[in-house]
Structures are given as C-alpha cells and as structure tokens.
Amino acid sequence: MTQIFQRAWVGKGLILLLMALTLLPFLSLFTAALAPGGTYPSGIAWPEAPQWNNFVRAFEVADIGRMMVSSLIIVLGVVPLAVVIASMAGFALAKLVPTGRKWLYLVFVLGLTLPFESIITPLYYEIRALGLLNTRFAIILPLLGLYMPFSVYWMRAHFINVPQDLSEAAQLDGAGYWREFWYVQIPLARSSIMSLSILLFLWTWNQFLLPIVLVQDPAKRTMAGALGAFQGQWGTDVPLLSAGSLIIMAPTIIIFLIFQRQFVAALLQGAVKG
C-alpha cells in the first residue's frame, strides 16, 4: 500500500514540476511587460511601479484591433470552406467508391507529411502570377489546399465507420447522394467536424510562414505573422514586446480555456489520426 501512495506522490510532484516549468516563461514575460517602457528588466522581478499602461501602448502601437479582425477574416475564409469540401471528399472516398479511389486517396495522404517550406518558393511565384500578393487571398487559398490532406483523411476516417445501412436507408427514402450527404451524413458527423474546425482554426490563427512570405502588410496577416513583424520592429523594447506578445497570445489562450475539453480532445485525436 505504501508503495502505491509513494508512487502517487512522486507522480503528482513530477506533474507539478512540469506545470511550473510550463508556466514559468509566461510569468517571466508578464513581469517584464510591467517594467517601465524602454528599460531592460531582469528575469522575474515584480517592478516597483507596475506599468499597466504598457499593455495599452502595445495595443495601440501594434494596431492589435485590426490584426485580430484580419486574422478573423482569414479564419472565416479558410475554416468553413475547408471543412465542407473535405467532408464532401471524405464522404465520397469512404462511401461512393469512385474508380481509382485507392490512388486518389494515396495522392491526398501523400501531402500529410509535406513541410510547408518545401513548396513556399513556387507558391510565392504562383501567388504573384495570380496577382494576389499582399492580399488575404494569398494566405486563404494556399491554406485551403495545404489543409486538404489532413482534413480529407480525417473526414474519411469518420465516414468509413458509418454503417452502410444508413446510406441504403437514405436512398430507399429517395434521397440522392447530395441530400443524403447534407441531411443524413453531416448531422451525424458533428463531433468530427467540430474537432476538425478547432484544429484548422488553431493552425490558421498560428500560421506564420505564409504571411511573412506572401503578405507584407502586418494588418493583412494572421496573428502569428503580425507578431513576427511586431518583434522585428520592437524587439529591443523588452517591456513593450512582452506586453504586445501577451496581448497577441491572449485570444487563443482565452478561447482555449473556454473550450478546454474540446481542444484537448481535438489535439489528442488529431495527433493520433495524423
């Protein structure tokens, strides 16, 4: 018995230590954000006169309001459409058995491990040829393509486990493939779609490479891309940079805390299926 108790305490201690290590950097950033602007604060030290004003200043300097709107537009341009077209393709690959399905599926899955950097160079010239550099389409369109391997894989994995009887029942009722998809299959796929949407939201919001290569204006980038620009510009003013970084991280962390259960489930499943 004592052995089991000991083990429980060692485990709890280990976890508390890891939690502390996870949070320590944020705490350090927070105290640095409260130091007087333009000074060089040190590690973790509560400043004598906390400058809460730094947060206001960072918000204005980085134009964070506009950055959030921009990120939101990009997310809205990517996530719903990606989810719908990936569901359609996943459904077709699982249930409609097109000829050449094996090859088609393989072609999609091939993209699962593709590092974005491997195609960033031609992507730049392609987007330039389309005249879309420096627009939000330069981020939205490539992401729609880049998300397809994972999204199609994910939705197919869901549809393949839906009993075939369901399709047959729907078709006996006279529903065509399109009606069956929208009114029978999609409502049943709600939890898979929810998880996929969460993952795509996170990946889009945090996407960094595409914005810095394809969009010059930070006000048209994603949050992460804008943070890169902010660091480039204000990297030497530690308190301001710290305050700005915290504000830029805040929305994801807040949304994460609200939907904590769904996020953790999505990320764990996402890793397993990916």
- Of 152-211, which residues contact other proteins (CB under 8 A)? 152, 171-172, 174, 177-178, 181, 202, 205-206, 208-209
Task: Choose one: 51-59, 61-69, 186-194, 259-267; the region binding other proteins (CB under 8 A).
Answer: 259-267
Residue 120, interface with other proteins (CB under 8 A)?
yes
Q: How far is the CB of 209 from other proteins (least distance, A)?
A: 6
Cα angle value 198/84/132 (rounded, 5°)? 85
Of 49 and 272, nearer to other proteins (C-beta) is 272
List 36, 37, 47, 228, residue binding other proteins (CB under 8 A): 228
Distance CA 113, CA 71 (A): 25
Using CB under 8 A, which residues numbered 15 to 74 contact other proteins? 15, 18-19, 21-26, 28-29, 32, 40-44
CB closer to other proteins, 160 vs 253: 253
Shortest distance (Å) from residue 239 CB to other proteins = 11
Contact residues for 211 (Cβ-Cβ < 8 A; gap 6+): 139, 221, 222, 224, 225, 226, 228
For 258-267, which contacts have Cβ atoms below 8 Å and span 24 or more sequence positions? 259/198, 262/194, 262/195, 262/198, 263/198, 263/202, 265/195, 266/194, 266/195, 266/196, 266/198, 266/199, 267/199
Residues 124 to 153 in contact with other proteins, rule: CB under 8 A: 124-126, 141-142, 144-146, 148-149, 151-152
Phi, psi torsion values for 216, nearest 5 degrees: -75, -40
> From CA 92, how far away is CA 160, in angstroms rounded?
10
The answer to whether residue 236 forms part of the interface with other proteins (CB under 8 A) is: no
In the complex, least distance from residue 234 CB atom to other proteins, rounded to whole angstroms: 11
1 binds other proteins (CB under 8 A): no
> CA 154, CA 90: separation in Å to the nearest integer?
8
CB of 161 to other proteins, least distance (A): 16
